[in-house]
Structure 1
Amino acid sequence: MGLRRVLEPAGVLPQAAWRLDASPEIAADEVRIAVRRLNLDAASFRQLAEKHGGDGAKVRAEVAGIIETRGKMHNPVTGSGGMLIGVVEEVGSESPLGLKPGDRVATLVSLTLTPLRITDGLQQWDGKSEQIPAEGTAILFGRSVVGVLPEDLEPELALAVYDVCGAPALTDRIVREYDGEVTVAVLGGAGKSGSLSLAAARLAGARTTAIVRDETEAAAVRQGGLADAVAVADARNPVAVAEAVGEPVTITVVCVDVPGCEHGAILATAPGGTVIFFSMATSFPAAALGAEGLAADVTMLIGNGFVPGHAEFAVDLVRRVPAVRQLFESRVAGH
């Protein structure tokens, strides 16, 4: 679990730690990765970009400072991190991960718990995109989750898919748990996790509605045929979201990287339905207390990013649904 890497405070797991030991020497159950690229999660990058007014140099300096100070990429404001891709350098004799030196891999665990050391100062990055070319080392533990990069996808594309692969897998699971007709609304349906969740829900037999922020996103979703219905609404406006969805749905999936989307998702969900929160900007007290205040009999789930087989599931969706692949490729190309 990486307990030996926790420097402070004592007695917590690596994710909850303020600071980790990111030294490259590995224990018997660890693996060292040569870092090639980081991927900041959307909520963290948005917060940093807005804080610095889009000044890439300042964003880069803050990210480098966080990593240097904490021994991991753990945004102290959003509490979130991201993930990385790299090449396996050394494998401990007791590692259960099945890796070997030279494997090209993506870490499927958060950077908030991954010991990370950067050696190039992030100088290859302009500070204006979620993906960060980088050099350094990262450490995986015995209980870490990792995926070998697929040969038919560019590494940058695979990284973008793996970053959100928990969302479609959990959406698929929850849709299949309901009997009869299932309806699904995805807030942020034009984004990475949103588009994959729409595709997963439709393939599982649900009727889908995408809620997007503007007509440009709506046109992209319609053109790709990603949803049965598309509506424009500010996800932070509960009444606007409920009106955009119309008849309350069985499942609402929140994939919006801004705070304040909890109550709209609850209002859009029918009694006995489920809300899945995949945004790291979610306030779980606001969700719990808001549901109570609305007398909403809904199940609320935290999308924790891990479902068995989630990486393979997401990559398969990208291969099977051309519109999703196009959206991801455009996102990667345009940062």
Structure 2
Amino acid sequence: MTGVRESDPTGLHRVLDDRVVLPQAAQRLDTRHALWSDEVRIRVERLNLDAASFRQLERTHTRADGTVDRDALRAEVLGIVASRGKMQNPETGSGGMLVGTVEEVGASSPLGLAVGDRVATLVSLTLTPLVIQDGLAAWDAATEQVPCDGYAVLFGRSIAAVLPDDLAPELSLAVMDVCGAPALTARVVSRYAGATVAVIGGAGKSGSLSLAAARDAGAARVIGVVPHEQEAARLRASGLADEVVLADARDPIALRDAVAAAGGPADVTVVCVDVPGCEGGAILSTAAGGTVIFFSMATSFSAAALGAEGLAADVTMLVGNGYVPGHAEHALHLLRGHDGVRRLFEERL
């Protein structure tokens, strides 16, 4: 492309801010249709908004009578994408990911994709140039999966996985949206001999995969924590947890006591809930020398750090960054290998 800045594999060339920041931190991205030589353009079929972002949008547009103004929610998503050139919720800072079909590949793209490949992007929508062209007319704004028509651009350092032939695209998207959680859970659990693992939000997407990953990685005991009996019944039926306990993860004492009664404290605590205020309970539920993995974009990392210090808690705290080598393949393997995981995913879809 002549007359424009040189491309950078991080996508720096599409940042429109006055100061030098990476695309995730940018206020606005360049969404031009034409590609730099190391880029790939995707014809978008479906977005998957991350759970924390979608729940925040629902809360914002809940009327006094408790119903959600779905039209206003849809309009806000359209407004965010139009103004920022990407999907990044200004309140949560998070986005999601997408599925679509490769429509053009730059001559020097290192991603190994070909025109016609149906792919899931494994990088956040918060750093992906995105244009929506159908006004989200097919989205009822009732779930985080958003059918749409438009295009997105991947950079030289982006990641994408070709969709498997044996799974519905909606199911693949749901799994790949959270595939970093089980991969990191497995890595951490494998470092403990006979670990007790507690997964907060165990009936959700990342939670169910993390329970299965912990079991496969050698955990001696897995505890699933859920907020109400409906989810508890679903999780019990899945067979993924040795113990299923009810607790409000925002109540640190209730959470600590529930995990303790189920065989805790945990050597590894995995936080997969999409509401704020769960940091203290996760720390209290974890044994000295244990590890807390935060996978929720609703997490306040300052609250986690200062809370652990204030509790004199000798725990390692990890931020799940969504990427571990081989994470997509691992998550799909868990889905195929654990009937309980697949059942929970399909019930949500």
1:87 corresponds to: 101
Q: Does 1:226 align with 2:240?
A: yes
So what's the TM-score if we normalise by structure 2?
A: 0.94
Give 1:9 deviation, angstroms.
3.9
Q: 2:210 aligns with which of 186, 191, 197?
A: 197
Structure-to-structure mapping, 1:160-309, within 5 angstroms? 160-178=174-192, 180-206=193-219, 207-246=221-260, 247-309=264-326
Give the C-alpha shift of residue 113 in structure 1.
Answer: 0.1
Name which of structure 1's ranges 119-128 and 279-288 shifts more when overlaid on structure 2.
119-128
Alpha-carbon shift at residue 126 of structure 1 (Å): 1.0
Corresponding residue number in structure 1 for 2:337: 320
Unaligned runs of 5+ in 1: none
Letter in 2 for 1:79: G
> Structure 1 residues 177, 95: closer, same or farther in 2, change over 3 A?
same
C-alpha distance after superposition, 1:291-318 (max 9, x if no partner): 0000000000000000000000000000
Corresponding position of 1:52: 61
Alpha-carbon distance between aligned partners in 2 of 1:289 and 1:120, rounded to the nearest angstrom: 45
Residue equivalent to 1:29: 38
Whole-Å separation in 1 of the counterparts to 2:102 and 2:89: 25
State the identity as a percent: 68
CA distance, structure 2, for counterparts of residue 262 and residue 139 of structure 1? 35
TM-score of the superposition, structure 1-length normalised?
0.98
Following TM superposition, where does structure 1 have runs of at least 4 consecutive aligned residues deviating by more than 6 angstroms?
Answer: none
Superposed CA offset, 1:76-107 (max 9, x none):
00000000000000000110000000000000
Q: CA RMSD in A?
A: 0.6
Residues 1:130 and 2:137 aligned together? no
Q: CA deviation at 1:58?
A: 0.7
- Matched AA of 1:125: W
Q: CA deviation at 1:128?
A: 1.0
User: Aligned-pair distance for 1:10?
Assistant: 2.4
Whether the 8 Å CA contact 1:89–1:102 is kept in 2: the answer is yes
Paired letter, 1:291: A
CA distance in 1, matches of 2:188, 2:252: 23
Task: Give the SS at the match of 2:190.
Answer: helix
1:35: Cα distance to partner? 0.4
For residues 94-136 of structure 1, the C-alpha deviation after alignment (integer angstroms, 9 at most, x for no partner) is 1000000000000000000000011111111111110001011
Aligned length: 331
Structure 2: 5+ residue stretches without partners: 1-9, 63-67
